[in-house]
Amino acid sequence: MAIYNKLVKTCLSAEVHHMVCRLGLIELNSPELEHIVTVSGEICWEAITFYLRTSDTEEQDLDYAESVRLLGPVCKTVHVYLLSLNTQQFNNQYGLWLKWTNNTELFVEAFEAIRNSQYTAVPLSLMKLTACLERALGDVFLMVGNECPFLLRDLLASQELAAIFGQNVMNVLRVFLGSPQSLNLRNILWHGFAAPPEIPPMYTSMLLLLTAGLGQKLKDVLACRNLSLLHRPYFKLTQLKELAVFPDINEEAIAAAENIIEQSDFVVEIMQPYWKDALAAYKDQRYADCTILLLPQLEMGLRKFFTIVNNCPNRLLTAESTTLYTTFDEILAKYLDNGVINHLPTALGNPIMEILWDLLNHQEGPRLRDHLSHGEIDLKLFPREMASHLVALAVVLLNHCHRGANGISMESECLKTIMCSTHSYCSRFHPVGKLKQQLRCCLESLQKWGEMPRPTLEQALDRPGSDYSGPTTQTVHQGLMEGLVSALINRLQMVYDEDLDPLHYLLAEEQLHLVAKLLTNRICTLYCPRVVLEVVSLLRKIASQCLTVSQQIMHGVVSRHQQWLSKSLRSRQRQNYLRMLGSIQYLHHIFSLLTLLVTVELLNAQTMKDEASSEYHCYLKFLKSVLQYTENMVTYTSPDKNKWNESWDLTEKMLLKVKKFYNKWYNITVDCAT
């Protein structure tokens, strides 16, 4: 799908462009270096804070524009100073004072970037530097505070950091990073607004020196207050297998992607260097750099597409200093801020939208941009698989907005596979997707019950004091089970087109086969109503307890069988073990049925609408009773309880309750009081 590609010279509003690109360069009289940095390399904070100005209109708040104008010459002096140092000199002078960040190497790389002629070197380094600085400041905050603010601007404005570093010191940082009215370097870069040459390198130099200066002040504070700085562990990207939807990106795919950057309206022309350098970084196996360069441009490309399909280019394409940015949250939302429907989901299609939500938004997903931009991921260990996934997604979006009538030429087999991979994608990290995964785990666990070792009847009778009743003495009431299976199949037919014969699904094995088949059904997860999410939340809890019961029983049977063979079970333990064996068949049947029940209710959850109705509240009450049963069964089947006879009584009561509920469900006048 091609979109109109109007020439864009900048993605910063006139006011922001003036603030970032010009204002700090107006003043020509730069202070002498010795006023800013001592001979020993210590930062003279008073000389820097001298240039801060407060606003006449807002009491105690900064006049950001005037502060930027006056601090510009200071930044220039610092920049010239750092350019006079080589890497070893910089490391010798400031390495020790950068250790508090827990990533001295990153700041040394940023120092090297300020003299790099590559267009994207400075923006890339600034993104990494601001993320690392935010993480380190959060660690400092937690020395004296409890819950670290999520947003950098709130962190910089916190009383906790002001108490450690001083309010004026924090105000200097706020001029560079803390507000839409400030330079706001972190946000305009991470949200994809700043083109490669738009950020003056002197701001990177200034932030390098300020970070070292913070280290100098922190050293004194730690010694004076007898505090210790602890660093939080990094967030680990453990969802790589779940996220794997695309083929691994190879050289052929990279070459094809390089060719289509200039042919796709998804790319804002002034941002092309980011795209090209991101692919170059992937080829160089710099996977974190590739991802950091690419993520903001995916946001910018989606923002551009968003403005086209919603017909609001002037309001949303540029970064404004007086309004909130249009970020991934707004771009992927169902409605615009004025309540009008967002047309982007329809234009992209559900599969691509679900891929984006999985990668960026769902709480149980990687939330890649959040974790990266807040400095929560170890860049040295960034996984190739995640960068590969992002590059493949970028190719899909480039193709979606390709200027050719039919998109990218599909000569590359890898590109063909990438495009086809999106068609059947279903969310992995939405609560519905997570429930599906839980049900598959239940399915796999229950299917392994047939492999559990157990003694033969002859072996059991051969042991003195072993009254082996066998698994056939406690069987599920046939009529009750037939009724429940029939009720579940009837309920399933409300949302499932294929005709099913309830008699075919009386056996546990057939129920599990049906579950596997039903889980292949596509369920749209975009913008699920709260009523659906509430039901899914209860179903997930039930599925979790079912899996725990299954795993406990399997582990218990294996453990007891080993003790049986070694003749290390006492008389009472032997009796309990045999009761366990006698319970396996009916428990397998029950938990297979429960797994089917949860699956059927998952499919029916999509039809839930009226959360105020008495029927809905009765339904929740029913699910909570099933959850209570599974929680009790976790206790009864635990190694320290082994209440097998009691579990049968509990199960029979639960089955009767389920039967009663399904009988009532089809009655229009549901009586919730009973």
- Over 90: is that where the pLDDT of 64 sits? yes
- Over 70: is that where the pLDDT of 654 sits? yes
Low-confidence winner among 164-173, 210-219, 524-533 (lowest mean pLDDT): 524-533
Q: Distances in Å between the alpha carbon of 38 and those of 43, 51, 124, 173? A: 7, 18, 29, 20
What value does the mean pLDDT take over residues 479-486? 87
Please give the torsion angle defined by the CA atoms of residues 107, 108, 109 and 114, in that order, rounded to the nearest 10 degrees.
Answer: 90
* 190 within 8 A of 212, measured Cβ to Cβ: no
pLDDT tens digits, one per residue of 540-571: 999 999 999 999 999 999 988 888 888 888 88
Residue 39 CB contacts under 8 Å (≥ 6 apart), including other chains: none
The model's confidence at residue 482, banded by pLDDT at 50, 70 and 90, is confident
- The closest alpha carbon to 513, from 443, 449, 450, 589, belongs to 443
- Over 60: is that where the pLDDT of 186 sits? yes
The model's confidence at residue 374, banded by pLDDT at 50, 70 and 90, is very high
The model's confidence at residue 474, banded by pLDDT at 50, 70 and 90, is very low
If DSSP codes are grouped into helix, strand and coil, which group holds residue 192? coil
What value does the mean pLDDT take over residues 472-476? 45
Greatest mean pLDDT among 70-74, 559-563, 636-640 lies in 70-74
What pLDDT score was predicted for residue 206? Answer: 98
What pLDDT score was predicted for residue 244? Answer: 86
The single-letter DSSP state of residue 18 is I
Please give the torsion angle defined by the CA atoms of residues 323, 329, 332 and 334, in that order, rounded to the nearest 10 degrees.
Answer: -80
Burial, 227: exposed, middle or buried (Cβ in 10 Å; 0-12, 13-18, 19+)? middle
CA 535 – CA 48 distance, rounded (Å): 57
Average pLDDT of the chain? 89
The model's confidence at residue 321, banded by pLDDT at 50, 70 and 90, is low
If DSSP codes are grouped into helix, strand and coil, which group holds residue 499? coil
406 vs 387: which has the higher pLDDT: 387
Low-confidence winner among 90-104, 408-422, 640-654 (lowest mean pLDDT): 408-422
Residues paired with residue 38 on neighbouring β-strands, in sequence order: none
Place of tokens 């601001």: 130
pLDDT tens digits, one per residue of 2-20: 444 567 889 999 999 999 9
The model's confidence at residue 468, banded by pLDDT at 50, 70 and 90, is very low
pLDDT tens digits, one per residue of 274-297: 999 999 999 999 999 999 999 999
What value does the mean pLDDT take over residues 390-416? 79
What pLDDT score was predicted for residue 373? Answer: 97
- Over 60: is that where the pLDDT of 512 sits? yes
Tokens representing residue 636 in the block: 């009864």
Tokens representing residue 122 in the block: 């400075």
Tokens representing residue 392 in the block: 């493949």
What value does the mean pLDDT take over residues 121-133? 98
The model's confidence at residue 645, banded by pLDDT at 50, 70 and 90, is confident
What value does the mean pLDDT take over residues 571-582? 84
What pLDDT score was predicted for residue 410? Answer: 59
The model's confidence at residue 472, banded by pLDDT at 50, 70 and 90, is very low
